[in-house]
Amino acid sequence: MRVLAALSGGVDSAVAAARAVDAGHEVVGVHMALTRNRAATRSGSRGCCSIEDASDARWAAEILGIPFYVWDLSEEFEERVVDDFLSEYRAGRTPNPCVRCNERVKFDVLLERGLALGFDAVATGHYARLRGGASAGRPGETAALELHRAADTAKDQSYVLAVSGREGLSRALFPLGDAPSKAAVRAEAERRGLPVAAKPDSYDICFVADGDTRGFLQRNLGAREGAIVSPDGDVLGTHGGYFGFTVGQRKGLGLTRPAPDGRPRYVIETRPDTNEVVVGPAELLQRTVVDGKDLVLLAAPGVVADGEGWQDVTVQVRAHGRPAPADVTVDAAAGTLHAVLRQPLRGLAAGQSVVVYGGDDGGRALAQATVA
């Protein structure tokens, strides 16, 4: 197959491209330039898409002996990821920008351009496993496609990939899905002579390179003083904008008065209409029901009917969160999901992604939705 390999400049994408070459595919490397700041440099292990990353990607392509290109996707990234991030926080929701980036840039845009250029599939350094689709040598086939957790559950990224759906994933290759560990991938990169073998991972939000998410939000949405209140409405303090707080947050509340019972307070709710942040005890964070919208059904068509679903499966609401046992029903026509949890989850916020897992080994992604 003709495969377009996304080279981020990190070790994972470099080894994934190398494995695609080993598999006999005709591979072309592409680096997606997502930042509008062309002078950006990498700071520690934060961020991505820096000058160093582009250079490292080019270097890896040279060692692998594959053609290499840089695509400027900064406009698409700004519109589809950064603007979405800001609008979600403005609405009082907690988005996952990595989910949006995978869906709207790393797959939608990359695949759209790749197909237009005659490529059969895209390969990335994500840790996840596919059965069927391009991974079985049948690009574009969706009938048998299944998304499964990676062999290394500590690095598994199926959670952020599920939103791409069967059609988007049908032309994807994840060569690292069976890798036993990140250490093994680094060792493989070193054996191959790839210069990124010891390069640190990027983390946090890539377009907030200093890690100060609240500062980024205030700079873009503007500081706006409001009240921090108890569930009963008592004013406990002030803040610089409700969007700087997330449900479940404990630190950084700036409160000087302790709770009457001495227990810590957590963010229970943010109220955009009144610019209030509600704080209270931990037990108010417990959720036993999860409702989702914008359903993405990953199970094969006909496997689950409207109003039906799966018993004794698990749901995950954070990229590295604990899977929670649940019974789930879906309404494909309405695009909704309803999960009754067998164990309560804490700190669930509107805008988060929820992924349902099941199958024989419990590691197959069955559906994805956005917490309502």
Active-site choice (48, 49, 98, 101): 101
Q: Which residue, among 204, 182, 186, 176, has the nearest Cα to 319 in the 3D structure?
A: 204
Strand partners, 122: 4, 172
**CA separation, residue 354 to residues 96, 149, 270 (Å):** 11, 15, 20
Active-site choice (48, 49, 98, 206): 206
Q: Which residue, among 202, 168, 197, has the nearest Cα to 184 in the 3D structure?
A: 197
What is the gyration radius of the CA atoms in the chain, in angstroms? 22
CA torsion sign, 196 to 33 to 205 to 317? negative
Query: The tokens of 180 are what?
Result: 């036993």
Residues 6+ apart with CB under 8 A from 79: none
Burial (0-12, 13-18, 19+ Cβ within 10 Å), 234: exposed
Q: What is the layout of strands, in order, in the sheet containing 235-239?
A: 235-239, 226-229, 276-280, 266-271
- CA atoms of 46 and 29, how far apart (whole Å): 23
Quick check: 121 and 3 in contact, CB under 8 A? yes
**Beta carbons within 10 angstroms of residue 213's beta carbon:** 16
Quick check: 5 and 123 in contact, CB under 8 A? yes
Report the SS3 class of residue 29.
strand
- Is 101 an active-site residue? yes
Quick check: 194 and 39 in contact, CB under 8 A? no
The residues carrying an active-site annotation are 101, 206
